[in-house]
Structure 1
Amino acid sequence: MNTGQSGRESILLVDGMALMFRAYYASAATGYIRRTKAGLPTNAVYGFMRYFWDAVQKFSPSHIACCWDLGSKTFRTEQFAAYKGNRSEAPDELIPQFSIIRDVMESLGIPNISSPGYEADDCIGTLAARFSPEMEVLILTGDHDMLQLVNERTSVIIMKKGHGNYMVYTPETLMEEKQLVPRQIIDLKGLMGDTSDNYPGVRGIGEKTALKLVQEHGSVEGILANLDALSKSVRTKIENDLDMLHLSRRLAEIRCDVELACGVDECRFVMNAAAVASKFEELEMSSIVSWMGLAATP
């Protein structure tokens, strides 16, 4: 496992938050929460590993890093107090599993990356910018906001419904599917807002109108320079919400300049099979040991 699909070295940047929530809710929906004999919930850890390992098998990265949020207070909540304010607390059964999966990643020799005041997205954006000059970057997530990071050396792998089902976005596939270049994703979110992150954009402008405006005028600046060409209703909405348009665009933009102590060498994926098998046996997940092809510890 040392080169990506193009034959060069590649790094898989894992959106730990996206995989963890997806894994938890996919299994919790059945009504059964997997637990150890001592009662520790492990359903999200198990599901995370299934998603993660499938992607590793499929994309064969030579390097891997996993990025995490650290808490709800970030530079975005300082700019807009209601940012993500609509999110409910993580379920009680999920909370202890965040530290367990970080331990699992450590046993795999994979660095866990996070930074106070920033989100996992910003850590991913920073590492993508840092490593793309020397290797292919693959971002594993379910978050379409990440499409703004796509470029000739960075692909975003969006996890679709079901295991092993992905849409890989490159500049070509993004243009083909959405008729947008990556930077325009930020302009789109500035106009339409984001209900899951709880910022409004321009009130009264939905995805369809936002998409049409960005495609026709190229960017928010292009739209503002051509307000006279817009319908009276759309123009009025934009003029009434200019401050929120600019703020929403700032909130939507992933930072790529976070100070992170993470070098390429520590991300090289070299697994100690015995350490990993031992970790999963401790978590009473011997089935993972077998489908990862690891020898059980004596």
Structure 2
Amino acid sequence: MHDNLLLIDGSSLLSCCFFGNLPREYRFAKTDEEKDKYIEKLRQSPKGEFTNGVFTMMASMLKMIKNQNPTHIAVAWDLTKEFTFRKKLYSEYKGTRKDMRSELGSQFALAQKVLKEMNVPEFVFKEYEADDIIGTLAKKFGRSMRVSIWTKDQDCLQLVDDNVRVWLITSKCTDMYESLGINIKELNIPSGVFEFTTQYVNHFYGVDPIQIIDRKAIEGDSSDNIPGINGVGEKSVIPLLQEFETVEGIYDFIENSPEKEIKKMFKDLGILRSPLSKLVEESNEKIVGKKAALLCKQLATIKCDIEELNNITIDQLKLQIDEEGMKNIFTELGFTNLLN
């Protein structure tokens, strides 16, 4: 069996598992007050700890390990958005996200405890996010083995190459495969994911994996509160990147060409509504135009060279589940049916 590394975005997976295993009353509650009424319906341990997300995450991971047979594994976690290098670059980064409710927030430390008892390698850093950890490990070991990244974060698509694939958690996976004429049941991939290769990133996003960064730099990303360039959308971004490859390439053309030539190029690229005024906009009050694009590119770029991971060896990521440790923690949390 060939060596293969499974990298898991723990924060992304736990959140998905939490929201995927909720009682109906809680799921459809519209206010915090309504949710509070039904909070006791969430799965809990014998000690009263909320465990619905952790339980579903462990069930999903065990199924993944059984069906995909990874030889090596690592789980990456976000610690806090407040102290990351991106927050230092742009104070409004992820600034629109609501505070996490305690019934989910409390399960992060619990999930990490469970994985520690199971002897599953985990990584978390104050300054970096989970996708930076994943990016560093993928680039470090992707030259010598197949790497699969399990996440709901589309940012990770920038990491896809010949040896690195992303298993993107999405409710649209069946429809996506059907649009390609592929029967998902005939594929050996995890349920609920679409497996992104270089070819499929290009098919669905119109750009190469590494250009996902540049596309996000211009379009922005409301979920991360990355502004991009207001008023410049995919109908302009995709043809511009297909022609000039990067944000820097676009601005190199604009800054070294007469306006008449620029407008002709836009027309030749099939861009019906010229984005030029937005691309070259300047302001002392707000971040716009080139300044916005270059800042947003920094925010969108996954860091693949975390120094703290320099000395990690592939042997440290070898999948070696501690069966006794798993049995003890599962029993403590009331997960005994997972031991079957």
> Equivalent residues in 2 for 1:265-276 (5 A)?
265-276=315-326
Secondary structure of the 1:156 match is strand
The yes-or-no answer on 1:60 pairing with 2:108 is no
Flag structure 1 segments of 5+ consecutive residues without an equivalent.
291-298
| Structure 1 residue 237 displacement after superposition | 0.4
Q: Deviations over 1:37-71 (max 9, x none)?
A: 32210011012123322322332110000001121
> Equivalent residues in 2 for 1:1-150 (5 A)?
3=1, 8-28=2-22, 30=24, 31=26, 32-72=41-81, 73-150=83-160
Contact between 1:54 and 1:164, CA under 8 Å: does it hold in 2? Answer: no
Secondary structure of the 1:40 match is coil
| Structure 1 residue 15 displacement after superposition | 0.2
Instruction: Describe the shift of the 1:221–1:50 C-alpha distance in structure 2 as closer, same or farther (beyond 3 A).
Output: same
Residues in 2 aligned to 1:143 and 1:195: alpha-carbon distance in whole angstroms:
13
Residues in 1 aligned to 2:99 and 2:66: alpha-carbon distance in whole angstroms:
33
Residues in 1 aligned to 2:319 and 2:122: alpha-carbon distance in whole angstroms:
13
Cross-structure match for 1:226: 253
Q: Deviations over 1:16-35 (max 9, x none)?
A: 01001111122236324101
| Structure 1 residue 222 displacement after superposition | 2.7
When structure 1 is superposed on structure 2, of 135-144 and 53-62 the one drifting more is 53-62
Secondary structure of the 1:67 match is strand
Residues in 1 aligned to 2:53 and 2:231: alpha-carbon distance in whole angstroms:
38
Say which one has the larger Rg: 2
Q: Deviations over 1:177-221 (max 9, x none)?
A: 333211110010001011000011001112333223222332212
Normalised by the size of structure 2, how large is the TM-score?
0.79
Residues in 2 aligned to 1:248 and 1:29: alpha-carbon distance in whole angstroms:
38
* Percent of residue pairs identical: 32
Aligned-CA RMSD value: 1.8
Cross-structure match for 2:181: none
Once superposed, which parts of structure 1, at least 4 consecutive aligned residues long, lie more than 4 Å away? none
Paired residue type of 2:13: L
Paired residue type of 1:88: K
1:179 to 206, 209, 212: 206
Secondary structure of the 2:5 match is strand
Paired residue type of 2:195: V
Structure (1/2) with the larger helix percentage = 2
Flag structure 2 segments of 5+ consecutive residues without an equivalent.
27-40, 174-189, 255-261, 268-272, 282-288
The yes-or-no answer on 1:237 pairing with 2:281 is no
Contact between 1:51 and 1:164, CA under 8 Å: does it hold in 2? Answer: no
Paired residue type of 1:263: T
Residues in 1 aligned to 2:152 and 2:244: alpha-carbon distance in whole angstroms:
28
Residues in 2 aligned to 1:138 and 1:286: alpha-carbon distance in whole angstroms:
29
Cross-structure match for 2:33: none
Residues in 1 aligned to 2:245 and 2:19: alpha-carbon distance in whole angstroms:
38
Q: Deviations over 1:145-166 (max 9, x none)?
A: 1000011111111112298122
Residues in 2 aligned to 1:224 and 1:282: alpha-carbon distance in whole angstroms:
58
When structure 1 is superposed on structure 2, of 231-240 and 193-202 the one drifting more is 231-240
Paired residue type of 1:125: G
Residues in 2 aligned to 1:155 and 1:197: alpha-carbon distance in whole angstroms:
23
The yes-or-no answer on 1:264 pairing with 2:305 is no
> Equivalent residues in 2 for 1:193-232 (5 A)?
193-227=220-254, 228=262, 229-230=265-266
Secondary structure of the 2:59 match is helix
When structure 1 is superposed on structure 2, of 266-275 and 52-61 the one drifting more is 52-61
Residues in 2 aligned to 1:48 and 1:205: alpha-carbon distance in whole angstroms:
38
Contact between 1:19 and 1:51, CA under 8 Å: does it hold in 2? Answer: no
When structure 1 is superposed on structure 2, of 165-174 and 67-76 the one drifting more is 165-174
